[in-house]
C-alpha cells in the first residue's frame, strides 16, 4: 500500500516537472538542449505511469517490455545530449546578465555625467552672472562711502558694504562647492586639501590628509567621483558622528588608487544603514553608486562608539569618463 502511495506521488511530481520544463522552454528561447531535456522529462513521466499500470489493471510488465526498453534508451539519449548541450543556455544567461550589468553601468554613469554637467553649469551661471552684478553693486557702494555723509548714512553704507562682501564670499563658496575649480585645474589632492583647510579653520574637527600623489592627475571621472565620495564621508562625519578627528590616506598601488578614511566618532549600526541606504540620511546610496560607476570596491565598517572606517579602491583609468 505504501509503495502504491509513493508511486502515485512520484508520478504526480514527474508530471509537475514536465509542466515546469515546458514553461521554461519558452523562457530559454526554445533552446534545443532544453527541448531535449523536456522530452526526457515527458518520457520519464510516461514510463512511471506505465510502470504503475500493473497495480491498477491486468496488464503485465512483459506486455510492454520492448516499448519500455526503447523509452529508456530514448530518455537516456535525450538527457545525455541535452546535458551536454545545456552549456549554451548558461552562455545565453551569462550574456543576458552581462548585458544587464553593462546597461546599469551606462545608465548610472549617464546620471553622474548629467549631475556633474548641471553642477558645472549652475556654478558657471552663479560665477559669471550673479558675481559681476554683486561686484558692480560693491563698487557703487564703495563710491557712496567716499562721499560726505552724516553718521547715520555712513553706518548704513558700511553695513551694506559688509553684507555685499559676505554675499560675494558666500557666492564664491557655493560656486566652488558645486564645481571646484581647484579640482578641475590642480587635481584631487589639492582640491581635498582646500576643502579640508576650510573645515579645519573652524577648529571643531581636525582633518589630516596624507597622500603620496603630490600633483599627479588622473582621469576626470576618477577624480570627480573620489572627490564627491570623500566630501560626502566628511559631511557625514561632521553631521552625525560627533567626531574630533578624521584621517584620510590616499595612495597609489600600481593601477589602483586606494583611499582609507577613518574617524573617531560615535559610529553607527551598519546593518540598519545597509537595509535602507537611500533613507538613512547619510548619502551611502550616492557613495556606492559613484564607486560602482568606476567598477571600484568600497567597504565601510562601523560600530556604535567605535568610529567609522571606509576603504575604497578604484582603477586609475576608469572605464567611463565624465565629460567636462
Same domain, yes or no: 191 and 280: yes
C-alpha cell recorded at residue 58: 491486468
pLDDT at 135 over 80: no
Is 222 within 8 Å of 257 (Cβ atoms)?
Answer: yes
**Which residue, 155, 179, 203, sits at the end of a domain?**
179
Same domain, yes or no: 229 and 159: no
Same domain, yes or no: 248 and 309: yes
Domain total in the chain: 3
C-alpha cell recorded at residue 203: 577648529
Question: In which band, very low, low, confident or very high, does the pLDDT at 63 lie, cut at 50, 70 and 90?
Answer: low
Is 125 within 8 Å of 68 (Cβ atoms)?
Answer: no
Query: Residue 323 has what pLDDT?
Result: 38
How far apart, in whole angstroms, are the C-alpha atoms of residue 283 and residue 19? 47
Residue with cell 510516461: 46
pLDDT at 319 over 50: no
Give the SS3 label for residue 288: helix
Same domain, yes or no: 43 and 166: no
How far apart, in whole angstroms, are the C-alpha atoms of residue 304 and residue 270? 9
How far apart, in whole angstroms, are the C-alpha atoms of residue 136 and residue 123? 19
Among 65-79, 182-196, 265-279, which stretch is predicted with the lowest mean pLDDT?
265-279
How far apart, in whole angstroms, are the C-alpha atoms of residue 301 and residue 303? 7
Same domain, yes or no: 310 and 204: yes
pLDDT at 233 over 60: yes
Could you tell me if residue 96 is inside a domain? no
How far apart, in whole angstroms, are the C-alpha atoms of residue 91 and residue 86? 9
Same domain, yes or no: 129 and 260: no
Q: What is the mean pLDDT of the chain?
A: 79
CATH number at residue 115: 1.20.58
Could you tell me if residue 260 is inside a domain? yes
pLDDT at 277 over 60: no
Most confident of 101-105, 133-137, 298-302: 298-302
Same domain, yes or no: 309 and 189: yes
The model scores a pTM over 0.75: no
Could you tell me if residue 189 is inside a domain? yes
Side-chain half-sphere CA neighbours of 58 within 13 A: 0
**Which residue, 85, 113, 130, sits at the end of a domain?**
85
pLDDT at 324 over 50: no
Question: What is the residue range of 151's domain?
Answer: 103-179
Could you tell me if residue 162 is inside a domain? yes
Same domain, yes or no: 121 and 188: no
pLDDT higher at 323 or 87: 87
Could you tell me if residue 36 is inside a domain? yes
**Which residue, 127, 145, 179, sits at the end of a domain?**
179
Side-chain half-sphere CA neighbours of 290 within 13 A: 27
Could you tell me if residue 264 is inside a domain? yes
How far apart, in whole angstroms, are the C-alpha atoms of residue 70 and residue 35? 19
Same domain, yes or no: 119 and 241: no
Amino acid at each position: 500500500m505504501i509503495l502504491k502511495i509513493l508511486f502515485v506521488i512520484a508520478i504526480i511530481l514527474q508530471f509537475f516537472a514536465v509542466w515546469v520544463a515546458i514553461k521554461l522552454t519558452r523562457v530559454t528561447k526554445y533552446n534545443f538542449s532544453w527541448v531535449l531535456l523536456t522530452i526526457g522529462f515527458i518520457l520519464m513521466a510516461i514510463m512511471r505511469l506505465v510502470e504503475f499500470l500493473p497495480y491498477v489493471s491486468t496488464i503485465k510488465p512483459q506486455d510492454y517490455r520492448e516499448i519500455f526498453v526503447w523509452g529508456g534508451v530514448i530518455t537516456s539519449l535525450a538527457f545525455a545530449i541535452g546535458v551536454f548541450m545545456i552549456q549554451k543556455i548558461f552562455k545565453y544567461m551569462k550574456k543576458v546578465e552581462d548585458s544587464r550589468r553593462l546597461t546599469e553601468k551606462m545608465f548610472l554613469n549617464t546620471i553622474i555625467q548629467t549631475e556633474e554637467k548641471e553642477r558645472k553649469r549652475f556654478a558657471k551661471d552663479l560665477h559669471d552672472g550673479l558675481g559681476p552684478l554683486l561686484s558692480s553693486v560693491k563698487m557703487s557702494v564703495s563710491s557712496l562711502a567716499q562721499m560726505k555723509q552724516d553718521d547715520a548714512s555712513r553706518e548704513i553704507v558700511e553695513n551694506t558694504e559688509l553684507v555685499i562682501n559676505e554675499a560675494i564670499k558666500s557666492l564664491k563658496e557655493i560656486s566652488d562647492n558645486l564645481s571646484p575649480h581647484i579640482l578641475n585645474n590642480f587635481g584631487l589632492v589639492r582640491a581635498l586639501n582646500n576643502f579640508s583647510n576650510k573645515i579645519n579653520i573652524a577648529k571643531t574637527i581636525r582633518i589630516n590628509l596624507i597622500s603620496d600623489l603630490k600633483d599627479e592627475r588622473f582621469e576626470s571621472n576618477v577624480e570627480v567621483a573620489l572627490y564627491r565620495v570623500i566630501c560626502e564621508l566628511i559631511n557625514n562625519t561632521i553631521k552625525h558622528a560627533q567626531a574630533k578627528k578624521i584621517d584620510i590616506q590616499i595612495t597609489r598601488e600600481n593601477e589602483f588608487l586606494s583611499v582609507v578614511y577613518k574617524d573617531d566618532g560615535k559610529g553607527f549600526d551598519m546593518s540598519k544603514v545597509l537595509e535602507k541606504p537611500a533613507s538613512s540620511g547619510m548619502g551611502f546610496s550616492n557613495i556606492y553608486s559613484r564607486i560602482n560607476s568606476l567598477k571600484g570596491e568600497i567597504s565601510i565598517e562601523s560600530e556604535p562608539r567605535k568610529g567609522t572606517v571606509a576603504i575604497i579602491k578604484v582603477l586609475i583609468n576608469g572605464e567611463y569618463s565624465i565629460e567636462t
